[in-house]
Amino acid sequence: MYFLRPRGKRGCVEDKRVLNPQLWSSLPDDLVERVLTKVPFSALIKCRTVCRRWNELILSQNFTPADQDPPKCIPFHFTFYTPPENRGLHEGRYFTAYDPRRNRWVDISLSFLNLDPEMGNWEMAASGGGLLCLASISCSRFVVCNPVTKKWRLLEVPCHGDKPFMSLPPSDNDYHPRPLEHLLVGLTVSQDSGHYKLVVAEIDESSNHMTSVYDSKTGAWVEGAKTPVLPNSCFSRKPGVSRNGALYWISDDDSWCCPRLFKYDVENDSWTDLLLTTYGWDVRILEHRNELILVTEDGQACVLHESGQKMYLTPKTLPKSLRGKQQRQPDDGVQNSSYLGAGDVICFVREVLTEKKYRTRLEFIVRDFSCGGSTVMASLEHSYVLLCWVMEPSLTAVA
């Protein structure tokens, strides 16, 4: 066992002198806990694997790390990749996270999800508060998991009366709609209690417009308010955002004209929607310091304001380093660009083709406003499908 010694104001360095293992193994729990509270957050996760005793101490409700503001970890590249020669359900499935404060990449496996292979494949549906939510292909089952504590829960959406939960619109020619595209899925997480609520709502015009809410505190599903009935079929491919106990999503419709902003107030069980008529069809939403910000593909931004059931937008100026319009050049191979963020961090990401076959490069500009607005640039080459999500790690065993 090694220990850390001071290295000035910037942190600690590892001391290679070996401590007496017999002495450490005989320390009482209260002293071990006091030592562990001084361990950096990234090392604390590794300490959980030392023994069952340390793992239980770290996960206990009374354990409070000295670092109350753990370093943010932003998994913006989530992959569900299974090599052709390996047909197992979870082999090769992981997400890659970039930690801007330590300037490094971290691969986190999801192999701990021990699911029945007969249930089929799963895809990412939502994230929030350190939790990930996966949906089955039929969207009749969901898995909520904490990739840090490796705890997870399998949830099955109930039927209400004689109505099936998911009713898909008829397929158009060879197009078979993916059930997840016609649902709004979101998570709200209480960092104080560790409980969460999973919201699954139908938005297609031919659906039952049902809202189902699972509460981890009660362990039960409840039927919520009906989703708004709209003239056109809606679908959504963009992740939801949680703020102040409410969930927000951007959806499109069959006309491909204007996106629509949906809001579900989880506590008051009420829906609100706003047609975004002047911002183009490619709009993203992110939460930044308790503000909900809408950003267009060319970097124009607006802040959402609410008054009762009414929602309206006012312009906002993003830092120049985060304006997508200035980052793109003609014929630079950019395929997609997007914004994401949570808390103090905003990230601009774009996907660029490389000279290598079937490989693209993700380029990131990360702005951390908790560090005086410091900006970090990073890149990652990959050959997988790109989805953008935001998650901050949590040691709370809420799943």
What string of pLDDT tens digits covers the 399 residues of the chain? 333 344 444 444 444 555 666 776 777 777 787 788 777 766 777 777 888 888 777 776 566 655 544 444 444 444 443 333 343 434 446 676 666 556 666 777 778 888 877 777 787 888 888 788 888 888 889 999 888 788 899 999 887 555 555 555 544 444 455 777 888 999 998 877 889 999 999 887 777 889 999 999 999 999 999 998 876 666 776 788 888 889 999 887 666 667 888 999 999 999 998 888 777 677 888 888 888 888 887 778 889 998 887 898 888 887 766 655 444 444 455 566 777 777 777 777 777 776 666 666 767 677 777 666 666 666 766 665 545 454 444 444 444
Please state the three-class secondary structure of 54-106 as a single string.
Answer: HHHHHHCCCCCCCCCCCCCCEEEEEEECCCCCCCCCCCCEEEEEEECCCCEEE
Return d(Cα 352, Cα 237) in angstroms, integer. 20
Residue 200: how many CB atoms within 10 A of its CB?
25
The H-or-E segment that residue 22 falls in is helix 21-25
Return d(Cα 218, Cα 200) in angstroms, integer. 17
The H-or-E segment that residue 198 falls in is strand 196-202
Quote the Cα angle for 73-350-42, to 5°.
Answer: 10
Return d(Cα 155, Cα 393) in angstroms, integer. 22
Domains recognised in the chain with CATH numbers: 3-59 (no CATH), 74-287 (2.120.10)
Residue 38: how many CB atoms within 10 A of its CB?
12
Return d(Cα 187, Cα 153) in angstroms, integer. 14
Residue 365 pLDDT: 72
Phi, psi angle pair for 232, to nearest 5°? -120, 160
The single residue listed with the structure tokens 């009420």 is 270
User: What distances in angstroms separate CA 100 from CA 74, 178, 212, 213, 369, one per listed residue?
Assistant: 8, 34, 36, 34, 12
Q: The whole model's pTM is what?
A: 0.71
Are the C-beta atoms of 367 and 373 separated by less than 8 Å? Answer: yes
121, HSE (Cβ side, Cα atoms, 13 Å): 12
Tokens encoding 137: 């292909």
